Amino acid sequence: DTEVTQTPKHLVMGMTNKKSLKCEQHMGHRAMYWYKQKAKKPPELMFVYSYEKLSINESVPSRFSPECPNSSLLNLHLHALQPEDSALYLCASSQDRDPATDTQYFGPGTRLTVL
């Protein structure tokens, strides 16, 4: 089973709203990732968690706040977003046995629209 699930599938929010994206995997993976993907562009890494600790933050604005409550769950809290933050937000996970060669498995994404 290589399934990563994400909720919600779609989210529309105003610039003053606070919302959260959720990601879950039950493959026993210990690394989890958030990516942002704009239309017709490749995914861009935002955050990496390894063993529930934040290991990479790609200079993401503070209006995006990641959280890893346990090794199976990853959240992305959103607050005061801008319309240009509208994108597909992808979660991925990997074993974290060998960071150089572990395969990342992606979820279906949350399509976010900021009005």
Partner 1 sequence: GESVGLHLPTLSVQEGDNSIINCAYSNSASDYFIWYKQESGKGPQFIIDIRSNMDKRQGQRVTVLLNKTVKHLSLQIAATQPGDSAVYFCAENASGGYNKLIFGAGTRLAVHP
**Cα 59 to the chain's mean position, in Å?**
15
Nearest to partner 1 of 42, 69 (CB atom) = 42
Q: Does 25 bind partner 1 (CB under 8 A)?
A: no
**Cα 64 to the chain's mean position, in Å?**
10
Q: Does 60 bind partner 1 (CB under 8 A)?
A: no
In the structure encoding, which two tokens stand for residue 113, read together? 């629209």
Report the relative pairing of strands 44-50 and 18-25 from DSSP bridges: unpaired
- Name which position in 21, 36, 43, 112 contacts partner 1 (CB under 8 A): 43
- DSSP for residue 102: P
Q: Does 59 bind partner 1 (CB under 8 A)?
A: no
Residue numbers of the site for partner 1 (CB under 8 A)? 2, 4, 6, 31, 33, 40-45, 48, 55-56, 90, 92, 94, 96, 99-109
